[in-house]
Structure 1
């Protein structure tokens, strides 16, 4: 760090807490500083601390306030009034515009202390608690009037996943400067997760990537996700509509029949106001209804935002990092591993991660929306399986990494693991179409799911014979039986696969 600004004292406090074990995510929320900023600070902490000591910064720290999101009632009232006036004039207000105006008012009003007015500040400050309360009351009335159970109420939401993002420290040596990481569309997928309030039905994930035709998908007859593609790897309204009509409605109907509900019973899908979602009135038909949350309340009451998506993503990242460490442990460098980890690996890993999200996690995420009075039937359903927390994942990963004789891997720290867990927290999943893109979409209907550089080359891999596959199953069963941590259901699953193969023999 060539130059340390007057905020250096704030960063010293932040680094002290980081050294005491406070998580990066918590520090980001407390100080209003971006996650990537904290990662950069941690890698340059020695220079920062040396600078502060030379200037007797400790004495100055006591007289300055720490960086935090704005708490001034004056600024809050002024900013709300400014927003009200601008909206009355039909002036479009983006998140960046509001954040910029808040910074100007901070200086003009001479507010004491500092505030970054970051995205985290905006999300917390813009959450409409009153609107959330009103929606919860309206939702309770609808549930009571329509007599729908938790089996019939769903929530769907999108999230981004940087599907093969490795810790920056893992791809450098001690003499190199850590890169910022690969964060373009090639490395990002958008994932749509949907499940019901009872936690008994998790719909098959929908995944949007950049490329539709890939070598790794050759000879595959099915995938564990609904797979789409476009140039930006973002959800669009046409993709969501296709998922809703072809997949969500039939799957939700089938589940309701399985749990004994009458055919044609009402089904309710809760959505946020993202541009990829068609209006609720367009989606609602044949006893399947869509209901949208008001603006600025999803961080408070949308179930998927209360830990469901986070649980899925952390489990995926844990799997990916374990694969990376295993590869390095077997002599494969990180960059080669990244190239070998395919989109097929990613979709199977994210599908497994979604399958591993527990019923307890899902029902707990509905607590803020579905009040205790309406959740008597939910409270009886508990998943007693121990939940693997992010802290335990991180500890296990570090323990594995530190045992590997590799300079870049053995020196990984908690902040490096948290970097991977948090790198895509604020990544977009949707985009709005321009007028030209709308015309292109209509006139070139087949192009939505294709990419300019997608490849349609026949894979050189030879088809494995049935006889050889059966022998591989026998070998796998033998290996699994030698490991005490494998349970009988896992081994039985391989036996069932073997039986299917034998039935298909000519």
Structure 2
């Protein structure tokens, strides 16, 4: 049969990354046609249609990848031969990466062999070869520097070089301190208790309860003046928070995300950057008659997307060199430490309130849920003082090289937190050092190999509910009851020495709102009587 020039030639097979598939789905959401998206990616319309049909699987798979590199490199969702070993090794690696502990290739290979025996997965002669290790690094988008351990010694000379570069940029762009931001993530073990004996008691009262379930990731962000502290982002395991069932959509004081390990991922970070950071910063700049320009400083963590992907006009990201972040990143200079101290003080106060009211402290501890933690940690963030944030920027902004960093006094442990701890049964003889260790417990706590294996075997799918939330249906307050309660609250606040006019007017506004809603509902009820 003679060759026909008009015959359609076979399309060359194009391999599209998971990141590109995700971008294509977002373009479809914005109204672009399947034909246009297919042409741009060099694939057929049927292929794009398949992506659309398998959207939930693609989005779920991408949400579980912690690093942006993993999305760029992977073309399919096909599992590898040692899926559980790979996942367990990554969980183990990440907790040490967060602490800036050097992890070499041979250490990773030995740990992979250990997990292979635990899972009994694949070939018994699995050797965790160099080739396997390189594929594992590529699969999870791990930068070479993080694995080789070349980082980790604080480099003051490089810090000075970056400081000059940063200050030159600030001057060139005519940025004020209000336009310079830093954000960072921190782990919060939100039920961690100060005494070993007390912690042992709670474990006995709640057998099988694992520390790993108590972990949240908190993202804090502020500018250098503390004039704009952005609402915290909080990442937990549960997707469906039962405790927020009756809460208004705009009421939660934090932006909540879920991820199966309660970790930051590149997708979550991009969502936060474009949907929270950019709009919030735009509003702040406009209200203060500042140009729409801002710089967000980030550390070189693997879950942070590349700087080119974090830009919206003149609002953009800039990375600190990897081996200087620990010594000059503002959030690491006392801000996050103060945030967590404030949180733990609130946790203590709540437990003591239960004790003084004759309630069972252990029962309260068992039923602390993510909703309560969200409000406590938001209050803890509000209580971080502006001078604490401003001082944390001195290493980057201060011209005096001999400037000594100051922090909020840690004597607070001795003066206020220690007496609180000692009021808790089981903690009467706790020392100030033990309290200090508790304050820094998030950095000391490590997920054990046993907990990692349990986590991977459970294959947390991110769809679980907040199982610490009480199963009692939350009380719904009527408009009529609300009016009476708030009138009592107004009277109480008016009698307090520390009360301000703003406090009273805010309560009066809510009382008036409830009264209007009560009148409206009563009027509607009379109409429906006919």
What is the TM-score with the length of structure 1 in the denominator? 0.63
Using the alignment, how far apart are the partners of 1:457 and 1:424 within structure 2? Answer: 26
Measure how far apart 1:171 and its partner are: 2.1
Q: How does 1:335-484 map to 2 (within 5 A)?
A: 335-372=362-399, 389-402=409-422, 406=425, 408-425=426-443, 450-452=462-464, 460-484=473-497
Specify whether residues 388 and 497 from structure 1 end up closer, same or farther in structure 2 by C-alpha distance, changes over 3 A only: farther
Using the alignment, how far apart are the partners of 1:156 and 1:143 within structure 2? Answer: 18
Measure how far apart 1:261 and its partner are: 1.3
Contact 2:151 2:322 in 1 (8 A): no
Measure how far apart 1:415 and its partner are: 3.2
Q: Which of 484, 509, 523 is matched with 1:496 structurally?
A: 509
Using the alignment, how far apart are the partners of 1:449 and 1:388 within structure 2? Answer: 41
**Which residue of structure 2 lines up, in the alignment, with residue 30 of structure 1?**
none
Q: How does 1:305-324 map to 2 (within 5 A)?
A: 305-324=332-351
Contact 1:230 1:451 in 2 (8 A): no
Q: Which residues of structure 1 form unaligned runs of 5+?
A: 1-92, 101-121, 375-386, 430-446
DSSP 3-state at the match of 1:95: coil
**Which residue of structure 2 lines up, in the alignment, with residue 129 of structure 1?**
156
What is the TM-score with the length of structure 2 in the denominator? 0.61
Using the alignment, how far apart are the partners of 1:390 and 1:449 within structure 2? Answer: 40
Using the alignment, how far apart are the partners of 1:234 and 1:346 within structure 2? Answer: 17
DSSP 3-state at the match of 1:208: strand
Measure how far apart 1:365 and its partner are: 0.5
**Which residue of structure 2 lines up, in the alignment, with residue 239 of structure 1?**
268
Contact 2:243 2:470 in 1 (8 A): no
**Which residue of structure 2 lines up, in the alignment, with residue 119 of structure 1?**
none
Specify whether residues 469 and 448 from structure 1 end up closer, same or farther in structure 2 by C-alpha distance, changes over 3 A only: farther
**Which residue of structure 2 lines up, in the alignment, with residue 12 of structure 1?**
none
Measure how far apart 1:369 and its partner are: 0.5
Q: Which residues of structure 2 form unaligned runs of 5+?
A: 1-99, 108-148, 402-406, 448-458, 521-530
Range 294-303 or range 471-480, more displaced: 471-480
**Which residue of structure 2 lines up, in the alignment, with residue 95 of structure 1?**
102
Range 247-256 or range 492-501, more displaced: 492-501
**Which residue of structure 1 lines up, in the alignment, with residue 79 of structure 2?**
none
**Which residue of structure 2 lines up, in the alignment, with residue 190 of structure 1?**
217
| 1:218 matched to 2:245 | yes
**Which residue of structure 1 lines up, in the alignment, with residue 282 of structure 2?**
253
Specify whether residues 136 and 495 from structure 1 end up closer, same or farther in structure 2 by C-alpha distance, changes over 3 A only: same
DSSP 3-state at the match of 1:126: coil
Q: Deviations over 1:16-51 (max 9, x none)?
A: xxxxxxxxxxxxxxxxxxxxxxxxxxxxxxxxxxxx
Measure how far apart 1:491 and its partner are: 3.7
Contact 2:351 2:364 in 1 (8 A): yes
| 1:152 matched to 2:170 | no
DSSP 3-state at the match of 2:231: coil
Contact 1:160 1:427 in 2 (8 A): no
Contact 1:218 1:458 in 2 (8 A): no
Q: How does 1:170-185 map to 2 (within 5 A)?
A: 171=198, 184-185=211-212
Measure how far apart 1:393 and its partner are: 4.5
Measure how far apart 1:460 and its partner are: 2.2
Contact 1:225 1:351 in 2 (8 A): yes
**Which residue of structure 1 lines up, in the alignment, with residue 256 of structure 2?**
227
Specify whether residues 276 and 136 from structure 1 end up closer, same or farther in structure 2 by C-alpha distance, changes over 3 A only: same
Q: Deviations over 1:316-344 (max 9, x none)?
A: 11111111122222223332121232211
| 1:269 matched to 2:290 | no
Measure how far apart 1:299 and its partner are: 1.5
Contact 2:235 2:262 in 1 (8 A): yes
Using the alignment, how far apart are the partners of 1:487 and 1:139 within structure 2? Answer: 42
- C-alpha RMSD over aligned residues: 3.7
Using the alignment, how far apart are the partners of 1:168 and 1:99 within structure 2? Answer: 37
Measure how far apart 1:489 and its partner are: 3.9
Measure how far apart 1:162 and its partner are: 1.0
Q: Deviations over 1:351-387 (max 9, x none)?
A: 111111111111110000012389xxxxxxxxxxxx9
Specify whether residues 471 and 231 from structure 1 end up closer, same or farther in structure 2 by C-alpha distance, changes over 3 A only: same
Measure how far apart 1:95 and its partner are: 1.1
Specify whether residues 285 and 476 from structure 1 end up closer, same or farther in structure 2 by C-alpha distance, changes over 3 A only: closer
